[in-house]
Amino acid sequence: PLPLDVERIRADFPLLSRTVHGKPLVYFDSANTSQKPLSVIEAVDRHYREHNANVARAVHTLGEEATAAYEGARDALARFINAPSRDEVILTSGTTQAINLVAYSYALPRLKPGDAIVTTVMEHHANIVPWQLVAERTGATVKAAPIDANGELILEEYFKLLTPEVKLACVGHVSNVLGTVNPVREIARECRKRGIPLLVDGSQAAPHRRVDVQALGCDFYAVTGHKMLAPTGTGALWAKREHLMAMPPFFGGGEMIREVRFEGTVFADPPHRFEAGTPNIAGFAGVTAAIDYLEGIGFDRLKAHEQDLLAYATDAIAALPGVRIFGQAKEKEPVVSFLLEGAHAAHANDMATLLDLQGVAVRSGHHCAHPLMQFFGVPATLRASLAFYNTKAEVDEFIAAIGRVRKLLL
């Protein structure tokens, strides 16, 4: 693919040109949340300036425009993940809401004592805790598939857990801490053989790679807008129609009914059945702009640049004396978690604080993945997470900043 003109791309992201503590910002925290291009910021701004009204309620022009913006985001998301139908795309506030929707509307009514849900040791808490909550209520259990020292799933062990008691299997497409890309197609194939539906947390995949839910062969796929250039408070759950039709709503209220009577309420069909209340309409106007932006670049070009950056950053970090890198999977997205010798938890946070003084934004901590930290036997890591708008010069600056910070700390 044609190489990215990163300087031109950076000019689209107003925030990237600011300084922090008098230093040019190096933003290496995109796995936490991505920065936003001007087109997204302007789409939100334009919505409030020109089209603001509530969705689905009003027949006046503004109401129709707001509804078109909101429903347009559903179309854009359906295309973006290759959903077979736009009606299978539920708009949510993010991945957390999407997964909780499956937990409470799909899993809770089906689970009995002795049943199980399978997830993995490398998941974000959003793909663990909702399952624990519904398991506790029903007498079911949550089983976690193990990983190896490289941070790759041990597939045979995952498959061994897929016993007849399992009502739902879950996996993250990409680990937010390790960058590991999990073999979702293969997992979906094994789940299908056993008649077990598969939920995929796509939070960290959708910003980096083309997602095709039909090719993956899963049953549920969750994405969050704010990690893929869109505003916070936006996201989606894709689910197969057969599942959605059999799911009672999780939230009740306006916008999700056909008829309300005190003798019994008739719910709307999916997707509106699951979208009670007034959504983040302006945010979803931003989702469409974000998808347009990503597709305008093209994932082949984006990926080539990100993989090149990942290799460059990994080599540079690996060359730091006394470094331990967490996650050396064969296939990774651009995330590097690491610790420096003597850098226990306090040091990871001190490092991040001192790096901030140098203008470098990285995350330190457990990254909402306690079980993964327990596996590696550390309370925290430092995480540099990159995006297509980052450069090798920033990696160099980051490494130089670490050198300066180490002198102060170690």
Nearest CB to ligand PMP, comparing residues 67 and 203: 203
Nearest CB to ligand PMP, comparing residues 65 and 201: 201
| Unique residue bearing structure tokens 């909101």 | 70
Shortest Cβ distance from residue 365 to ligand PMP (Å)?
11
Write out the two tokens for 119: 């997830």
Tell which one of 119, 176, 180, 364 touches ligand PMP (CB under 6 A).
Answer: 176
Nearest CB to ligand PMP, comparing residues 233 and 270: 233
Phi-psi sector, 121: left (phi>0), alpha (psi -120 to 50), beta: alpha
Q: Are 197 and 243 contacting, i.e. CB atoms less than 8 angstroms apart? A: yes
Shortest Cβ distance from residue 135 to ligand PMP (Å)?
19
**Listed residue (244, 246, 140) closest to 131, CA to CA:** 140
Beta bridge partners of 384: 336
N-terminal to C-terminal alpha carbon distance within the chain: 43
What are the φ/ψ torsions at residue 30 (nearest 5 degrees)? -75, -20
Q: Of the ranges 67-75, 91-99, 136-144, 374-382, which one interacts with ligand PMP (CB under 6 A)?
A: 91-99
Nearest CB to ligand PMP, comparing residues 27 and 267: 27
**In whole angstroms, what is the distance from residue 102 CA to residue 344 CA?**
37
Write out the two tokens for 365: 């901590």
Nearest CB to ligand PMP, comparing residues 10 and 363: 363
Task: Supply the DSSP string of 181-232, one letter for each residue.
Answer: BP-HHHHHHHHHHTT--EEEE-TTTTTTS---HHHHT-SEEEEEGGGTTSPS
Q: Is 368 a catalytic residue?
A: yes
Shortest Cβ distance from residue 230 to ligand PMP (Å)?
10
Nearest CB to ligand PMP, comparing residues 337 and 358: 337
**Cβ–Cβ contacts within 10 Å for residue 263, how many?**
4
> Omega into 231 within 30° of 0, i.e. cis?
no
Tell which one of 172, 271, 279, 327 touches ligand PMP (CB under 6 A).
Answer: 172
Shortest Cβ distance from residue 263 to ligand PMP (Å)?
37
Tell which one of 30, 34, 35, 96 touches ligand PMP (CB under 6 A).
Answer: 96
Residue of 170, 191, 218, 368 marked catalytic: 368
**In whole angstroms, what is the distance from residue 91 CA to residue 289 CA?**
16
201 scored as a contact of ligand PMP (CB under 6 A) = yes
Binding track, positions 213-242, relative to ligand PMP; x by CB under 6 A: -----------x-x----------------
Give the CB-side neighbour count of residue 384, counting CA atoms within 13 A.
29
Nearest CB to ligand PMP, comparing residues 288 and 385: 385
**In whole angstroms, what is the distance from residue 311 CA to residue 41 CA?**
31
Task: Say how many residues touch ligand PMP, by CB under 6 A.
Answer: 14
Q: Of the ranges 67-75, 199-207, 293-301, 302-310, which one interacts with ligand PMP (CB under 6 A)?
A: 199-207
Binding track, positions 364-393, relative to ligand PMP; x by CB under 6 A: ----x-------------------------
Q: Of the ranges 9-17, 201-209, 282-290, 300-308, which one interacts with ligand PMP (CB under 6 A)?
A: 201-209
**Listed residue (318, 323, 316) closest to 398, CA to CA:** 316
Write out the two tokens for 402: 């670490």
Residues in region 101-130 near ligand PMP by CB under 6 A? 124, 126-127
Helix (H, G, I), strand (E, B) or coil at 56: coil
Shortest Cβ distance from residue 200 to ligand PMP (Å)?
10
Write out the two tokens for 58: 């009003």
Which residues are tagged catalytic?
Answer: 368
For binding to ligand PMP (CB under 6 A), which residues are involved? 94-96, 124, 126-127, 172, 176, 201, 203-204, 224, 226, 368
